[in-house]
Structure 1
């Protein structure tokens, strides 16, 4: 498995590195690990006023400071790795490195989002989702429980089927021996509807549940991997995060269409709401 670990010198980056060392590198043979730090580029008028060697030294020193704790951690766990340095806008550069380097997975820590900041898709992690088709693992809360189950949020889309297929390909790294739960969230029923209307809504929800489970079921059956199915009602992002918390899950897996441009600025998708509400690491597969 070829992993790109994006770091910025924060405690959250160190937690992401610890997740890689303790889980991804230990569970199975790690093919390749690259640690990437992206420096914001010095403004052109400043760069033009100094010697190029000064800029090179500046970027190198910034990167060395940002990766020092991560390097020490990985060295102490005997995890082979190589440091990469980039310059530019971090979301764009991380996505570019992920695509051009043909990585299997990007790993990042998250600084968390409150109610206000959760309205904007401006974080580095969310920018990477929009700019790259390489799956992204967002390590929340220091990685949380290492041995809990895995919950796959399913709505029946092709994105979810790709997420399940990805899980099965890399299960030795992501979820060895973990219990897999397929979770579908139905909209909350409208209590003011007449009986006939409630029956129609129930039938529609039942049909949606079966559609949501059909593709993932077939993939898991073919791989001879056991699973269980759970159905709940309410706001999908909140319900997924709540299920993971109540069941002490170690990982949430979700499919995402990915967004760019103006639509990518709005944190309205289920994936983004889940990350905002979550204390469990989230794997996003486009």
Structure 2
């Protein structure tokens, strides 16, 4: 049994107890609010020796420790993530919730919690500061060739072009995660280790609104998508783009619940 599996087995009953308290409208007693109790659960992963390593619990720890309480999973989601890999040592203290929020990709567990799905996808799980506004004429450095035709021309960067890129990108990434990955700069690819796993889980994306700023090469869109099991999520995403020659690539992004 791996260290992560052992840590999950030890912490699952505690997470279930915290979730049961929250379901009853009360705190478990470890902190002053429900999000802070989830953060406390995240610290228990550190004590178990699982945080900071590339194991399957690392994404859960990253999410639970988010500075913004609204971006943390619920205690029930925290417990469901643990349960996806290990059987509970005793009957859970609450009815088991639907596993629709979790995707099993081979032996790996991919977190797609609704409130932070895109944030985790774009930042690779870390807390990333907004990217600096890039030059609109950066030297060509990337050699990705497989991108939507609409982004290949040397046409001016207009609001219409930025919005077309966003639509093409969402369609491409959700249908072929490998092609979508090639629309990231090399640096951003290195900061998005779980990109393919998460985009593989996103189904039937629908863009609800679009807004762009050609002066800063940013485009913001709100979209809704479906997760395996039928659950739907809505998120607002801001893409920071750069020009490489006549092409647009994604150099950074932020996301929040829509």
Q: TM-score, normalised by structure 1?
A: 0.27
More helix as a share of residues:
1
Q: TM-score, normalised by structure 2?
A: 0.29
Query: Relative contact order, CA 8 A, sep 6+: which one is greater?
Result: 1
Larger radius of gyration: 1
